[in-house]
Structure 1
Amino acid sequence: MKPHVALLASPGMGHVIPVLELGKRLSTHHNLHVTVFVVACDNSLQQTSQLLNSTNHENLLDILLLRSGDISGLVDSDASIVTKILVMMRVSLSSLRSAISAMKCRPTALIVDLFGTEAMAVADEFNMLKYVFITTNAWYVATSIYAATVDKKVLDEHTNQKLPLKIPGCTPVRFEDTIEPLLYRNDAVFYWYIRLGMDMTTADGILVNTWEDLESKSLGALRDTKMLGRIAKAPVYPIGPLARPVGPPPVSRKDAVLDWLDKQPTESVIYVSFGSGGTLPAKQMIELAWGLEQSQQRFIWVVRPPSDHDASGSYLTADNGSAGFSDYLPDGFLKRTHNVGLVVPMWAPQAQILGHPSVGGFLSHCGWNSTLESIMNGVAMVAWPLYAEQKMNAAMLTEELRVAIRSKVWPSERTVERDEIEMMVRRIMVDKEGLAIRNRVKQMKNSAIKASSEGGSSYNSLSQVAVDCETSLQCLKAMAQGG
């Protein structure tokens, strides 16, 4: 009998996609029986179901949807996305417990994403191993664990005096790059973030969507008992990159997007997208349109209605609003750029676009999923972070890894004007600097492939998790026989 592992994914493509890819990796590479629980809100239920069907077409995984239902009576309508997701996860715990209890072959381990740490109590109830899967990078893990244990004075100096947060063994986090929850010290999201850091240290292991060559510094600090290892306690397993592979495109979108790319020269197109939930203010959308037009470079731009109040405004919504998208673009923009650009409403097959030979750049919000998809396809980036830990990701990409460029000031701080956008697009697409960046990211792509291949660092790391699950199963069998 195969060891049985359960995975829990919180709402949102940024969590569901890597959890599904982890499940597929455990099933195909390590011969585990995998059940994936996906918490879905009613607003995005159709979108989530479509993703699950397309991802699991080979039936490698058992997938169960846990519908969170209507939470409007439990959370304010203007609450943050993080708060809403946490409430959804809490409401879903009883369904998760019932589903596991009803299984004939109960899992030996439960792997939860970063919003699901409360579910580790369910793992304890059923005597299961418990792991946290951090769908972003090791620097984020280090920051979270350190922030949860450091003296309040240190956090005060970071958030009030705007001093860098110095994390033992890691690159310091500048105030302007810091993760959002640390900025809201009196908000519930801050206390969730601190609890997350504490919860991680109680797990049987921390799985991270990164690899050794990408983040050797942060990973070393998390393992070093004289640095972060003394407080991290749980072993850290870099198992990435886990991102969507370039597979067959959705038929409904093939003619509109990929066929257009087939007609463009190699590495001549910049892809512009802000993830599954990112939105821009109306004024910034106008400037971005003008910047793309002035650059005279080919582009694909995934456009959503603007939001002047919430950069994550589309995170838990369905794909609506595609009609009339020209209403919030400059007059005549579509007509003037129809020979060089393609504007796509709401959604595009991103993995297939980034894997297309005609794409040479990616103007990205720097969500970790998108970052990994870009690296895995050898595509250089223009960093445009919006929310969550995206500024930290962008700082890593531009300054440490040097596979991206950025604006002078983060777009969340002020409007980036058209002339600067034009300059950034041309820098990444046609200047010598862009060529050097593309060469670096292609080297990183090779590193990612090596880490994930059999015998690579991430492959071996995940193998250890599989071995632990097998050992736990044998122990349970022995206990049952002894009883």
Structure 2
Amino acid sequence: MKKTMVLYPGLAVSHFLPMMQLADELLGRGYAVAVALIDPAAHQQVAFTATVDRVVSSKKHAIRFHVLPRPRVERLRRPPPATTTDRGDFSLLGYLDLVKRHNRCLHGFLASMPLRDVHALVVDSLSVDALDVAQGLGVPGYVFHPGNAGAFAIFLQLSLIRREGRPSFRELGDTPLELPGLPSMPASHLWDELLEDPESEVYSAIMALGRKNSQYCSGILVNTFESLEPRVASALRGSRGGGGGGPALPPPFYCVGPLVEKPGERDDERRHECLAWLDGQPDRSVVFLCFGSTGSANHSAEQLREIAVGLERSGHRFLWVVRAPVSTVVGGGDPYDPRAEPDLDALLPAGFLHRTSGRSAVVKLWAPQVEVLRHRATAAFVTHCGWNSVLEGVAAGVPMLCWPLHAEQRMNKALMVAEAEMGVAVEMAGWQWGLVAAEEVERRVRQVMESEAGGELRARVAAQKAAAAAAWADGGGSSRAAFSAFLSDVDKRQLAR
């Protein structure tokens, strides 16, 4: 049997897809790949289930996919609440409980394979409890962090940032945190779970998750590349060389990004109509607005109207992906379900679609983001700052306008807008208070599309695009070298078993 890597992806589109790109790289190096999946139907999330079905269908001839059976105890009670991280109602405790309850099933799957052929188990950064299974079977366990090195560095330092007796992150509010290798960042930008009461179960859970990520694995793969985050990569590397009587050193980390979907990887039956519309637009003339797999379901009807007014006043062409706000879905249905189409005439200002028809395309629910970003007509990207979207924007060389919604997106924003860090974006003011005004939408669109500062931003993003391509280049790319170092470490551990 060929040497095998077993991957255990997270339960969200933003966690699952990058690990499938990692699978492709492993296949290219001659490894067999097996993917263990918690049944997507277990957490009843339409977008994620559809993504898994699509990927499994396209890769089933190259990769072995195995859906873990539901634990017996789960069969005796009602299904757990939705836990996927692409949802606004994400429950960290529910997610961690779901992973723990599948450990026995994962153990059974690994034990059914010749263990000498299993070179490593690679788990999602939210699934580190599964490393107990690897340790019990004597299989090296690695963590895959689908986000950036900056968020990972904060994760590792949580127990150091907030020691006993110091103010909680919630009490610190907008007080800046000063961390090695990172820009000054308000405490309020951290994960929502860290802004809870320090005595709460969810606060304790995320602190424990940070410790497990830094102590329980053989190494960590991070979906970024060195030149995008040079300061934090250097700081992390320096922390391994510190020694002395300080805290335990983190495991080796490997910057192996950008791992993003490539144009043409989807097996859709026909080309999306928005691409045909883009074909008819001038080069670098269109502002693209898309807020990830949650889409604008996290925006109120009032917010959608403010966006519309701002876009209309800007005078620029735009392509906008709209979902029905959660509050408008009749009967409490799932706003992420493709059947829950938004009523654009009801949600947007009267006459808006008619007045902007010559320079706009408003798309319901979904657009092929990778293809749109790489289209010659796309000039700017209004994004929720999910890391997949950020990397796709960088790889396409498109400047971004930041509008974070939840999770790590606020931290991503801080890294994106700081010129001393990535310098690939500007920030939309108002998201902090729940409403970005039409005037701000208009002002920022004009800034990126018309001003000298916008030109400088485009130049920085173009440089990062070239660096992203170079990271995986043959004969010296930093990510390709890091990936080789990871495989070398795996092989050494295999020989020592």
TM-score > 0.5, shorter chain as reference: yes
TM-aligned CA deviation for residue 196 of structure 1:
1.6
Amino acid at match of 2:207: I
Question: What is the CA deviation profile of residues 164-205 of structure 1, one whole-angstrom value per residue up to 9, with x for unaligned ones?
Answer: 223244333322423322211344332222112111222110
Question: What is the CA deviation profile of residues 246-282 of structure 1, one whole-angstrom value per residue up to 9, with x for unaligned ones?
Answer: 1256545624111111111111111111111242122
- TM-aligned CA distance change 1:172 to 1:67, over 3 Å: farther
Query: What residue in structure 2 maps to residue 435 of structure 1?
Result: 455
Q: Does the aligned pair in 2 maintain the 1:222–1:232 contact within 8 Å?
A: no
- Partner of residue 119 from structure 2, selected from 108, 115, 118: 108
**Distance of 1:112 and 1:178 partners within structure 2:** 23
1:189 and 2:210 correspond: no
Q: Does the aligned pair in 2 maintain the 1:109–1:130 contact within 8 Å?
A: yes
- TM-aligned CA distance change 1:253 to 1:425, over 3 Å: farther
Query: What residue in structure 1 maps to residue 33 of structure 2?
Result: 34
Query: What residue in structure 1 maps to residue 20 of structure 2?
Result: 20
Question: What is the CA deviation profile of residues 269-297 of structure 1, one whole-angstrom value per residue up to 9, with x for unaligned ones?
Answer: 11111111242122111101111111121
**Which runs of structure 2 are paired with 1:299-310 in the superposition (5 Å)?**
299-307=318-326
**Which runs of structure 2 are paired with 1:457-476 in the superposition (5 Å)?**
457-476=478-497
Query: What residue in structure 1 maps to residue 397 of structure 2?
Result: 378
**Distance of 1:462 and 1:391 partners within structure 2:** 28
Query: What residue in structure 1 maps to residue 59 of structure 2?
Result: 56
Question: What is the CA deviation profile of residues 93-151 of structure 1, one whole-angstrom value per residue up to 9, with x for unaligned ones?
Answer: 23322222222465221111111101001111211111111111111111111113444
- TM-aligned CA distance change 1:339 to 1:169, over 3 Å: closer
TM-aligned CA deviation for residue 473 of structure 1:
3.2
Aligned residues: 471
Query: Which piece of structure 1 moves more, 294-303 or 65-74?
Result: 65-74
SS of equivalent to 1:23: helix
1:336 and 2:335 correspond: no
Query: Which piece of structure 1 moves more, 13-22 or 395-404?
Result: 395-404
**Which runs of structure 2 are paired with 1:241-256 in the superposition (5 Å)?**
241-247=258-264, 251-252=268-269, 254-256=271-273
**Distance of 1:189 and 1:444 partners within structure 2:** 37
- TM-aligned CA distance change 1:62 to 1:220, over 3 Å: same
Query: Which piece of structure 1 moves more, 288-297 or 465-474?
Result: 465-474
SS of equivalent to 1:64: strand
- Partner of residue 252 from structure 2, selected from 235, 257, 279: 235
**Distance of 1:264 and 1:21 partners within structure 2:** 31
Query: Which piece of structure 1 moves more, 224-233 or 450-459?
Result: 224-233
- Segments of structure 2 that go 5 or more residues without pairing to the other structure are none
- Partner of residue 407 from structure 1, selected from 379, 403, 428: 428
Amino acid at match of 1:266: D
Q: Does the aligned pair in 2 maintain the 1:158–1:164 contact within 8 Å?
A: no
Q: Does the aligned pair in 1 maintain the 2:272–2:367 contact within 8 Å?
A: no
- TM-aligned CA distance change 1:335 to 1:231, over 3 Å: farther
Query: What residue in structure 1 maps to residue 101 of structure 2?
Result: 91
Amino acid at match of 2:422: L
- TM-aligned CA distance change 1:187 to 1:327, over 3 Å: farther
Amino acid at match of 1:263: G
Q: Does the aligned pair in 2 maintain the 1:362–1:374 contact within 8 Å?
A: yes
- The alignment-based identity, stated in percent, is 30
**Distance of 2:281 and 2:319 partners within structure 1:** 11
TM-aligned CA deviation for residue 72 of structure 1:
5.2
**Distance of 1:347 and 1:294 partners within structure 2:** 25
- TM-aligned CA distance change 1:75 to 1:56, over 3 Å: closer
TM-aligned CA deviation for residue 86 of structure 1:
2.5
Q: Cα RMSD between the aligned structures?
A: 2.8
- Segments of structure 1 that go 5 or more residues without pairing to the other structure are 477-483
**Distance of 1:215 and 1:293 partners within structure 2:** 36
Question: What is the CA deviation profile of residues 333-365 of structure 1, one whole-angstrom value per residue up to 9, with x for unaligned ones?
Answer: 222222211111111111111111111110000
- TM-aligned CA distance change 1:438 to 1:19, over 3 Å: same
When normalised by structure 2's length, the TM-score is 0.87
When normalised by structure 1's length, the TM-score is 0.89
- TM-aligned CA distance change 1:256 to 1:154, over 3 Å: farther
